Amino acid sequence: MKRFLVLTALLASTTWATASGTTIIANGTAIDPGTGKVTPNATVVIDGDRIKSIVESSAGISQKGDTVIDAKGKFILPGYIDTHVHFFQSGDIFTRPDAVDLNSVRSYKDEHAWIEKNLPDVFARYLRCGITSVVDVGGPLWNFAVRKQANSTAKAPRVAISGPLISSVSRPQLELNGDAPIVKIDTPEQGREMVRKLAAQNPDYIKIWYIVPGVAPASASTPQPNASASPSAAPGQSDAERAAIFRPVVHAVIDESHRLKLRVAVHATELEAARASVEEGADLLVHSVTDKPVDDAFVKLLKEKGTILTPTLVVFERYGRTFANKLELTPEEKAWGNPEVIASLDPTKIAEDKRPERLKKAMANPEPVLDGIQKTYDVALKNLKTLEDAGITIATGTDAGNIGTIHGPAIFREFQLMKQAGLTPMQILQCTTANAAKTFGGETGAKIGALKPGNYADLVILKSNPLDDIKNASDIESVMKNGVLYSTNTLIPPPAPSR
Ligand SMILES: [Zn+2]
């Protein structure tokens, strides 16, 4: 058998500037979660920015001038995809003044300026974590500029984008220069108009924030509206009746979007709102159902409609744990998250007289907060297992950017929680690659998430086997994006100057 020229030194230290010529990754184990196929002693041939072939054994593939990477003892997978992030949020404690208003410590304008300046850093941290594509499911119109910037940055994931969230409530605290991430829509006609306006930006999704009035806020979940800001619910109304209040707008928005060939992502964490969304034709549910166990009718409905669901388990613990000063970041988050973001997540650093009520309460009495998180997980993890067992398409997503949910490495906490729900390593990886690619959608979505000839060469090379234990999914040696291989130590820039 012809032997390869082994260039391990290159693998350890070099960043390839361009993806030209042929690169051969030899002697590793290729894992394609979408098909479940495991190829030992694989040869993965990369031609420019595409995968050319994946074959077992290595005889006679390389030619003079090829770049050969020895991956003996390594594991090669499609790049990970996080299908629920928000670039307009940093993950720090100042990023959602509608949840805790800390404008007196740091203005929201300054927070956004920092986010804008640090986008290249966020992009690089995603690649460092093996995440080569992400879906941003909601933010201001500024989001479309983020997609453009990512598309012209080599060290950045591929980005799919939705614009402002269409909702029954508004969040004026998050509006800068008239560009609001959350827009209150009162009538079906307003909803259709909004869709037509957004369509001009060529969004990957139209996003609906389906907030059901009168429901006690899930303590651990993303911020829920103040009672005063939501449409009113009459006492004694059933869940379905309360979900019906905003449904005409949901119907109009989905109908208009589909007419314009746009997909619709819906935030609906209550079972009846989720059911209504899927009945109306939602393409993607961006969270787990957290208020009650899913029933057979709901499972059947998802299956019939082919709706995809993103569980976003990690975000359910992070607001509460941050405010209660009980945040337990994973080693991956501590190592690869932005250090300034992480430093902000200590509420004791906020002067006592500047702490909003929600912070004071959680810090003084963390137990109810932690109980609330546990209750959410009791439902959400069980629901994930039910849906996975039923063959529903589950796509991994974190809701990164929300307070305490760290852009990039939050995905490894999500993996832990998916494992806790009872998913196997192969199932978790399938949710993070092939299934997630369906969420990404479009021409790009069809060419990511699988080890397949013709696909983009977006790969993760691991030092240990993720099928033995999903924790090995973070044991990353190098990451390939668009045919360019990056050793992990070249991806995270030195710490930014302090703000
Ligand atoms: Zn979100």
pLDDT digit string, tens, across residues 295-314: 999 999 999 999 999 999 99
CA–centroid distance, 225 to ligand 1, in Å, is 15
pLDDT at 290 over 70: yes
For ligand 1, the distance from its centroid to the CA atom of residue 86, given in whole angstroms, is 6
Contact 158, 440 (CB under 8 A): yes
Q: What is the mean pLDDT of the chain?
A: 91
Residue 225 confidence (pLDDT): 40
For residue 105, is pLDDT > 80?
Answer: yes
Instruction: Find the mean pLDDT for residues 68-85.
Output: 97
What local confidence, expressed as pLDDT, does residue 17 receive? Answer: 40
Distance, in Å, from the CA atom of 236 to the CA atom of 208, rounded to the nearest integer, reads 26
How close is the Cα of 3 to the center of ligand 1, in Å?
49
Distance 44 CA to ligand 1 centre (A): 36
Q: How far apart are CA 257 and CA 489, in angstroms?
A: 43
What spacing in Å lies between the alpha carbon of 223 and ligand 1's midpoint? 10
- The Å distance, Cα 123 to ligand 1 centre, comes to 18
Task: Please answer whether residues 14 and 487 qualify as being in contact, where contact means their C-beta atoms are separated by less than 8 angstroms.
Answer: yes
Distance of CA 446 from the midpoint of ligand 1 (Å) = 24
Taking 90 as the threshold, does the pLDDT of residue 337 lie above it? yes
**Ligand 1 center to 399 CA (angstroms):** 5
Least confident of 33-47, 48-62, 191-205, 322-336: 48-62
Which residues keep their CB under 5 angstroms from ion ligand 1? 399
* Cα 67 to middle of ligand 1, angstroms: 41
If you measure from the C-alpha of residue 43 to the centroid of ligand 1, how many angstroms do you get, rounded to a whole number?
Answer: 39
pLDDT recorded at residue 492: 87
DSSP reduced 3-state for 375 = helix
Q: What is the mean pLDDT of residues 343-372?
A: 97
For residue 497, name the pLDDT band (cuts at 50, 70, 90). Answer: low
Three-state SS letters, 182-231 = EEECCCHHHHHHHHHHHHCCCCCEEEEECCCCCCCCCCCCCCCCCHHHCC
Higher pLDDT, 11 or 372: 372
SS3 label, residue 133 = strand
Q: Which residues lie closer than 8 Å to 340 by C-beta, 6 or more apart?
A: 92, 114, 495, 496, 498, 499
Q: How far, in Å, CA of 47 to CA of 438, rounded?
A: 24
Q: Are strands 182-184 and 158-167 parallel, antiparallel or unpaired?
A: parallel
Confidence bin at 14 (pLDDT 50/70/90): very low
Whole-number percent of the chain with pLDDT over 90? 82
pLDDT at 145 over 60: yes
Ligand 1 centre to CA of 131 (Å) is: 18
Q: What is the mean pLDDT of residues 65-77?
A: 93
Predicted confidence band of residue 89 (pLDDT cuts 50, 70, 90): very high
Give distance in angstroms: CA of 335 to centre of ligand 1: 24
pLDDT, position 243: 86
13 alpha carbon – ligand 1 mean position (Å): 36
Would you state the structure tokens that stand for residue 382, as one six-digit string?
A: 């069980």
Distance between CA atoms of residues 316 and 136, nearest Å: 18
How many angstroms is it from 99 CA to the middle of ligand 1? 14
Q: CA quadruple 434, 435, 438, 440: dihedral positive or negative?
A: negative
Whether 11 has a pLDDT exceeding 60, the answer reads no
Please give the pLDDT value at position 219.
Answer: 37
**pLDDT for res 202:** 96
Cα 23 to ligand 1 centre (Å): 37
**Quick check: 24 and 43 in contact, CB under 8 A?**
yes
* Cβ atoms of 268 and 210 closer than 8 Å: yes
Distance 395 CA to ligand 1 centre (A): 14
Report DSSP letters for 41-95, one per residue.
Answer: EEEEEEETTEEEEEEES-TT---TT-EEEE-TT-EEEEPEEEEEE-TT--SSTTS
Q: 84 CA distance to ligand 1 centroid (A)?
A: 6
Is 28:74 a contact under the CB 8 Å cutoff?
Answer: yes
376 Cα–ligand 1 center, Å: 16
- Distance in Å, CA 432 to ligand 1 centroid: 17
Contact 119, 144 (CB under 8 A): no
pLDDT digits (tens, 9 = 90+) for 201-242: 999 999 999 988 774 444 334 554 443 344 566 777 888 888
Give the rounded percent of residues in the chain with a pLDDT score beyond 70.
90
Question: What is the pLDDT, as a whole number, of residue 336?
Answer: 96
Q: How many Å lie between the centroid of ligand 1 and the Cα of residue 165? A: 10
